[in-house]
Each structure stands twice: as structure tokens, then as C-alpha cells.
Amino acid sequence: MGKKRDVSAPLVAADYNSYMGGIDLADRLHTVYGINRKCKKWWHRLFWGLLEMTFINSYLIFSEIDGKIPLIDFRWSVARGLLTFTEPKKGSISIKRRSLEQLPEQNKKRRGKSFSVPKDVREGNRGVHWPVFIDIRRLCEICSINGIQSRPYNKCSHCGVHLCCSDKKSCFVAFHNISEK
């Protein structure tokens, strides 16, 4: 019968086995929602591969800093952030982006106790959320979640959500999670 013998592994093999998690993890995440497509121009595949690597690396950094979330949720969050990004200041390149009102709404009816606008949009881009006064009264989102009937004449300029904004009641501050000083 055969005998069992311990053989020392070469240094290269030992290093590979101890550090292989990074590239294997990146390859696994790359294939889950990969955007690698066949095309006749070689540089297109190179561009999409670099873009995918950027997504994967930013997801891994985000997971270490802010906690682990599913990759698809991270991709949706990045896409929402890019779609709701505001116009650049004067003198810079202007890219026309869709406002949040033009995005498809998910579960508009009976959404329960959750807001219609994601947290990263509500709390991000702090300098672009301003109350705008309009002629049409609609239900305040925070008051309706709390079971209060309130129909203000104003809404957020960025989110497009109707919110109370007065000296008596400031749902605008609560919705955007702004600390009052």
C-alpha cells in the first residue's frame, strides 16, 4: 500500500494559496452582474472591463467602510445617485440628467411606512434640497406616514416630494434628516 508523506510546498504556491481570495472574489463579483459583451472593437471590451473593475473595487471599499450590502443594491444605489445628480455649476460641462420625478416609481400604492425616495437621495447632495412653493396642494409624505392629514403648498426641489415647511411643523427637515442647530 501507499505511504503518506509530508511535502513542503514551494513558496510561490504557498503565497498564492494564502492571498488568492482577493482575485477570486473580484472574479466572482465580476461574473455575477458582468457587462462583458462581445464586440468587434477590442477597446470596447477594455473600457467595459475597466468600468466593471471600478464598480467591483468601489463595492469592496464601500463594504469595508459602511457594512456589507448585496451587490445589486449597491449598483442600484450608484445608478440612482447618477440619475438624480444635479446640474453642474456655471463654467463646467453640463450633462442633462433626469429628475427623480421621471424615474419609475416602485410600489407607489401601499408602500407602508417607508419613504418614496431612497435614503441616499434624501440625505445626499445636501445643497440641492430646497423648499419650492407651488399652486397645487398634495399630501405631506411624513404626515401621511404618521396618519396626519396635511396638504402643504410646497415640495422639495430635488426630490419632488410634498413636505410641510413652516415655523410650527418642519417635515422638510425630518425627511432629509437635517440636524437643527
142 with 109, same domain?
yes
Structural domain includes residue 133 = yes
Domain edge (last residue) among 83, 116, 134: 83
Percent of the chain scoring above 70 in pLDDT: 78
Determine which helix (DSSP H) or strand (DSSP E) holds 40, and give its type and residue range: none
180 with 111, same domain?
yes
Structural domain includes residue 151 = yes
- CB 163 within 8 Å of CB 134: no
Q: What is the pLDDT of residue 89?
A: 52
65 with 117, same domain?
no
Structural domain including 74 reads 9-83
Nearest in space to 154 (alpha carbons), one of 125, 106, 72, 141: 141
Q: What is the pLDDT of residue 108?
A: 45
Domain edge (last residue) among 56, 83, 110: 83
Rounded to 10 deg, the angle between the 71-83 and 42-66 helix axes is 110
Give pLDDT tens digits for 32-53.
Answer: 877 767 788 888 888 888 888 8
Q: What is the pLDDT of residue 179?
A: 59
Give pLDDT tens digits for 62-88.
Answer: 888 888 888 888 888 888 777 766 555
pLDDT at residue 96 above 70?
no
Q: What is the pLDDT of residue 100?
A: 46
Q: How far apart are CA 78 and CA 107, in angstroms?
A: 20
